[in-house]
Amino acid sequence: MLTPGTLRFLAGFVFSLVIGWFVFPYVLYERIEQPLQFSHKVHTGEAGGMSCTDCHEVKPDGRFTGIPALEKCATCHSSQVGTSPHEKRLVDEYVAKNREIPWLVYAQQPENVYFSHASHIGSVECANCHGDHGSTDSLRVYERNRISGYSRDIWGSSISRLARKATWDGKKMDDCIGCHESRNVTNTCLKCHK
C-alpha cells in the first residue's frame, strides 16, 4: 500500500525519467536542413548510372576527396539538365555564382581523428559505416549536438547507445575499436588520432 510520501517520491521519479529519456534528447540536438537536396538514387540508378567512386575518389597518395567539390557537379550541371527545382537551385545559386555548397557531413569525424578511407576500402563495405546513404533519394535532416557540435551520427540514434540498430548506427571511438577488434586489427592511438 503506497503512502502519499511514496507516491510523491514516485511522481518525481517518473517525471525526471521522462525528462531524461525523451525531452533531453530532443533539446540536445539541433535539426538543420541541408543547403540543397540531393538524390544518390537518381545519380547511381539507371538515370545517372554513376558509381560511388565517380564522385568520391581516393587520390594516389591515399587521401580521400570526401564530398566532391562544386566543379565535379558542374561537369554535368553547368546548365539545367533535369526538371528538379533543387537542380535549378544548384545551377543558379552555386554553379552560376561558383559558390561551394556548404554540405553538412553526417559522418564527419572530429578534428582530432585521422581516418583513412584508403586503408578501409576493400576490407570494409561503404554501407558498413554509411548505411544505405548511397541509395537514398533525399538527404535527411542533419542533427547537430548543441554541446559538442558533433553530428548525431557519431553518437548514434539510440540516446542510451544500448539499442544500436546496425554497424553504421553510431561512429564513436568504441564503435571503431569494436570493429577493429572483431577483425583483429590493432587499436593503437596513433592509428586514428592526429
Partner 1 sequence: MNSKITRREVLQFVGGSALGVLLSPLPWKVLDDTAIWTQNWPWTPKPKRGDIAYRTTTCTLCQSSCGMRARTIGAQPVSLAGTQHHPFNQGALCTSGLLAHHLRYHPSRVKQALKFSVQAKSHSTLSADDAFRELSAVLKNSSSVVIVDERAGRTVSALYAELAASARTVSYAPVSARGISSLNRLAGNASLQAGYDVDNAKCILSFGAPLFDGWGTPSLAARFFDKRGTQKLIQIEPVRSRTAEMASKWIVSRPGTDLAAALSFAHVLLEERLVSASALKSITDIDELALFLGAFTPEVVSKQTGIPPATLRETARAIASQTPSVCVTSHAAGDDVQDAVMLLNILTGAVGTQGGITLRAEIPGMRSAAASAKQSVQIDDLPDHSVNVFILDESLSGSSIPDTLLQDKLVSGGQGVIISLSPFVTPRPFALQYIIPSTVMFETLGDTTGPFDAARSGLALSSALLPAPDGTLDALQFVQKCAETLSVSLSSTGSSEEILKKRIGALHASKRGQVFMTSTGETTDVKQLATADDLWNALVEGGCWIDEAVGVNARALSFRVMPSIKHTRQTQTTDSNTLLVYPIVESSAYSGKTVSPLMSKVSQESGLRLSAQDAYLNPVTAAAHQIEHGSTVALRTKNGTMNVRAKLDARTMPDVIFVSCTAQSCGNQSAIASSAQDVRLLCEVSSGGSYTPTPVTIQKVYL
Partner 2 sequence: METTQKSPRYGMVIDVDRCTGCGNCMVACAVENNVPPAQAKVTERTGMTWMRVSKLDNGLPFPENRSVYLPVSCQQCDHHTPCQSVCPQNAVEYDIESGIVAQIPVRCFGCRYCMTACPYHARYYNWFDPEWADGIERTLNPDVSARMRGVVEKCNFCHGRLQAARAKAAADGRKTESESDYTTACAECCPTQAIRFGNLADPKSEVSILSKSPSAFRLLEDLGTEPKVYFRSEQEWVHTIVKKTSSSELKEHSNG
Chain contacts with partner 1 (rule: CB under 8 A): 5, 8-17, 19-21, 24-25, 28, 61, 63, 110-112, 145, 147-150, 159-160
**DSSP state letter for 91:** I
In terms of phi and psi (left: phi > 0; alpha: psi -120 to 50; beta: otherwise), the region of 156 is left
Give the shortest CB-131-to-partner 1 separation in angstroms: 22
Residues 97-136 as x/- pattern, contact with partner 2 by CB under 8 A: --------------xx-x-x-xx-----------------
33 close to 99: Cβ distance less than 8 angstroms: no
Residues 43, 81: Cα–Cα separation, whole Å: 12
Q: Which does 118 bind (CB under 5 to 8 A by kind): partner 1, partner 2, none?
A: partner 2
Residues forming beta bridges with residue 142, ordered by sequence position: 32
Q: Amino acid identity of 160?
A: S
Backbone angles phi, psi at 144, to 5 degrees: -110, 130
Question: Which CB sits closer to partner 2, 28 or 121?
Answer: 121
Residues 103, 33: Cα–Cα separation, whole Å: 10
Q: Which of 3, 46, 49, 59 binds partner 2 (CB under 8 A)?
A: 59
Q: Which does 15 bind (CB under 5 to 8 A by kind): partner 2, partner 1, none?
A: partner 1
Contact positions vs partner 2 (CB under 8 A): 58-63, 111-112, 114, 116, 118-119, 186, 188-191, 193-194
